[in-house]
Amino acid sequence: MSSQPRTLIAGNWKMYKTEGQAVELAAGLVAGLADALPPERELLILPPFTALKTVSEKLRGRERMFVGAQNFYPSEEGAYTGEIAPSMLADAGCTHALAGHSERRHVIKESDRFIAQKVAFGLQAGLHMILCIGETLDQRTHGSMENVVKGQLRLGLAQVNKETVTPEQLTIAYEPVWAIGTGETAEPEDILSAHAVVRKTLEEHFPHCGNGIRILYGGSVKADNAAAILGLDNVNGVLVGGASLQVESFTAIATAD
């Protein structure tokens, strides 16, 4: 890529917020960030399914503000009780989606193969895909961070068309499982070393565009550590959970400098 990609500030609301609460939060973010979001940044909100449409309506017409889905099923339509298709997400105003979040890997037990299907299907359906990867505490203490990160990346990207994919379509989020929702943020050197592994693997996997694909950090990002994290090499944004659930903290993260 010739120009620097915009920094992505993403808020994953997980299974929080009723529709009314979600719209109130979205309205607060729009009011707080309409004039304050720095020009080189983009904001992405990932609400629960029931609030996608109304949150999208709140953000409609706002520059550099997007709505995404936390999950979907990789099929156009069909007898998949309880699931949702990318076309339905697009209909609700979604432009982005997650795949491989640690809670889906470890709680729902999604496999690397299924995650890979979602990444490829989501891209074909026109969604900007965010592939989440990251090691557990046990894997880290056994010195396996690098192998886990490389493996999840290679497997998760295995079905992506290497010739046609662009940095405008794909983002990676590195989220060490031990730092998610624990208040324990990775140290700068942990983030630097993991993101360097991700970058090198991306450059090997996608020789024509691996250097331009954004890499987000996620795991206990807060208003008081966001600026330092966003200033690190190979950190092109953050994926925020708990601190994205309040207007004040998420606004502070989105404007942190």
Ligand X SMILES: O=C[C@H](O)COP(=O)(O)O
CA distance 125 to 255: 32
Q: Which range touches ligand X (CB under 6 A), out of 35-43, 48-56, 109-117, 175-183?
A: 175-183
CA distance 22 to 29: 11
CA distance 210 to 64: 23
Rounded to a whole number of angstroms, the minimum distance from the CB of residue 182 to ligand X is 7
Q: Which range touches ligand X (CB under 6 A), out of 75-83, 111-119, 216-224, 249-257?
A: 216-224
| 86 binds ligand X per the rule CB under 6 A | no
- In this chain, which of 122, 210, 212, 241 binds ligand X, going by CB under 6 A? 241
CA distance 172 to 199: 10
Closest by CA to 148, choosing from 182, 176, 168, 187, is 176
- Binding mask 100-129 toward ligand X (x if CB under 6 A, else -) reads -x----------------------------
State yes or no: 122 annotated in a binding site: no
| 240 binds ligand X per the rule CB under 6 A | yes
| 239 binds ligand X per the rule CB under 6 A | yes
**How many chain residues interact with ligand X (CB under 6 A)?**
14
- In this chain, which of 65, 130, 242, 256 binds ligand X, going by CB under 6 A? 242
Nearer of residues 165 and 239 to ligand X, judged by Cβ:
239
Rounded to a whole number of angstroms, the minimum distance from the CB of residue 171 to ligand X is 13
Active site residues: 101, 175
State yes or no: 75 annotated in a binding site: no
Nearer of residues 29 and 240 to ligand X, judged by Cβ:
240
CB 50 within 8 A of CB 84: no
| 220 binds ligand X per the rule CB under 6 A | yes
Within positions 12 to 51, which residues make up the interface with ligand X, using CB under 6 A? 12
State yes or no: 12 annotated in a binding site: yes
Structure tokens of 7?
A: 């920094």
CB 103 within 8 A of CB 45: no
Tell me the β-bridge partners of 69: 97
| 171 binds ligand X per the rule CB under 6 A | no
- Binding mask 61-80 toward ligand X (x if CB under 6 A, else -) reads --------------------
| 177 binds ligand X per the rule CB under 6 A | no
Compute and round to an integer the Cα radius of gyration of the chain.
17
Residue numbering of the annotated binding site for substrate? 12-14, 181, 220, 241-242
**Chain residues that interact with ligand X, rule: CB under 6 A:** 12, 101, 175, 180-181, 218-221, 239-243
